[in-house]
Structure 1
Amino acid sequence: MRILNHVNLLKVYEVYETQNSIYVLVEQLKGGSLGDSIGSLRIFHPQEIKMIMKGILSGLAYMHSHNIMHRDIKPDNIMFRSENIEETVLADFGLATECDIPEYLFSRCGTPGYVAPEVINLVDLKAKYSTVCDIYSCGCIFYEIITGRRLFEARNQNDLLRLNKAAYIDFKMSVFMEMDKTALAVLKSMLEKEPAKRITAKDALLM
C-alpha cells in the first residue's frame, strides 16, 4: 500500500507498530461498499455500472503496471469514497502480492465465487500465475451488477467451489441480448477461462 498511490486505491497515511499490534491509518471512505449496495438490492443504471467498472479497472491497471496483483477482488472490497458513488476505491490488500517473488505466501486464495480458475484449480502450490487473475474476479463483479445475481449461485460452500472450479458461464440470459456489444465483448473476455486469452485491465479500459 505504501508503494501504490492511485485515486482508485485506498490510501494509507501511516503505520504504527506496538509490541502486540500493528495499526494502519488509512483514508476515511463515506460511501460504503459495493457489497452493501448489492445487498440492498440496488439497481445500477448503465452509467453507474460504467463508472464503477472504470474505477476498478483503472485501479487494477495501475497495480498491474507495478507487477502487483490484488487476489481478492469482490464487492465487499470495492468501496466508494462518497455517498454518491462517483469514486470507486479498491480496498483490503491482505492477499496482494508481487507476481515475481520466489514463492507466494498464499497460492490458492481469494473468495469462493470470485476466484479465477487458474487460482482455485491450482495443484502445484509453488506454481505462478499472473495479474489477469484479478480480471476474472472483476468480470464476476461486472456480471453481478448487470444481472443482479451472482455468477456462481449455490446452496452450500462445496457446490459453490465446484461451480467456481468448472467456470461454466451461461450468456443466454435476455439481459445479454440487450447489452451493448462492446461491453458484452469485454465481459466475455474478462471471464475467459484460459488466462492467456483473458483481456488485461489496460486493454479493457481502451474498449
Structure 2
Amino acid sequence: MVKNEINYLSIMSHENIIKLKDFFEDKNKFYIVLEKCEGGELFYKIVKNKCLLESESIQIVRQVCCTLEYLHSNNIIHRDIKAENFLFKNKNTENIKLIDFGMAKTVNCEYLTELCGSPHYISPELIRKKYTLSSDIWALGVMVFFMLTGKYPFEGKNTQKVVDEILNKNINWKDKEFSSLSVEAIDFLKKLLERNERKRLTAFEALNHPWIKLEME
C-alpha cells in the first residue's frame, strides 16, 4: 500500500492533495515524507463541534469536490474518502488536504471488484463488488451527512448491520433532524446518496451544485 501511495502522489499535483516530499527504504520498510499539516483531521473537528455549520461545510466540501473532479478526470478512484483522510493545512484555515492513497486505483472501462474502504462509507455497488468512480461520490455523501448532522446516515452495532442499512435503509429527509438544513443541502445529500450510481452526481456535477455555490453567513 505504501508503494501504491508513492506511485500516485508522485504523479499528482493539486492544491488539496497532500504533497510527497521524499521517500526512501531500508531492508524492511518504506518511508515517505509528506507535506506538513498542523490543523488536524476533519473528523476531529466534526466530533469536537458535534457537527459543522453549513457555511463552514460548504467551504470544505467545495475543496473536496474540486479534488475528486481532478482525480476522476484522470480516471483515479481514491476508494477511502472519509473525514479521517482530510487534514487541515494549519489551525487558522479551511484549506484541506486529501491523504492516504494506499487504495487508489486507475479505472479504465472495467468495473472494480475488490472490496475495500471503511464500512460506514462504502457504496451499495462496492458491497456488490461491481463499482467505479462514482463510489467515491457516495462516500462524499456520507461524509457531508456526517459533517452536517454529527452522525453517519447508515449505522449498526457491527459491520453487517451497517451493510444492511446501506443496502436497505431509506432516509426520511422530512425528519425533524434535518429541519435546520437548507433545501439545497438536502438536495445535495439526496443526489450524492443515490443508490443507483448512474443517477448519482458526478464530481463535476457536485462541484457545480447550487449548495456548493451558496454564500452563507
TM-score normalised over the length of structure 1? 0.89
Alignment counterpart, residue 53 of structure 1, candidates 55, 58, 61 = 61
For the residues of structure 1 that align with 2:170 and 2:98, how far apart are their CA atoms?
Answer: 27
* Percent identity between the two aligned chains: 32
| Deviation digits for residues 69-124 of structure 1 (CA, Å, limit 9, x no counterpart) | 000011111111111341011111111100128796x71111001011100122xx
Contact preservation (8 Å) 2:51, 2:146:
no
Secondary structure at the aligned position of 2:121 is classed as coil
Secondary structure at the aligned position of 1:2 is classed as helix
Q: Which residue of 2 aligns with 1:205?
A: 207
Secondary structure at the aligned position of 1:196 is classed as coil
Secondary structure at the aligned position of 2:115 is classed as coil
Amino acid at match of 2:34: V
Q: Which runs of 5+ in 2 are unaligned?
A: 1-8, 210-217
Secondary structure at the aligned position of 1:134 is classed as helix
| Deviation digits for residues 121-149 of structure 1 (CA, Å, limit 9, x no counterpart) | 22xxxx5x321110100000111111121
Superposed CA RMSD in Å reads 1.9
Secondary structure at the aligned position of 1:13 is classed as strand
Q: Which residue of 1 aligns with 2:135?
A: 133
Counterparts of 1:30-179 in structure 2, within 5 Å, are: 30-100=38-108, 107-122=114-129, 127=130, 129-166=131-168, 168-179=170-181
For the residues of structure 2 that align with 1:116 and 1:43, how far apart are their CA atoms?
Answer: 23
Q: Which runs of 5+ in 1 are unaligned?
A: none
| Deviation digits for residues 39-71 of structure 1 (CA, Å, limit 9, x no counterpart) | 324442222110111111111111111100000
Contact preservation (8 Å) 1:140, 1:150:
yes
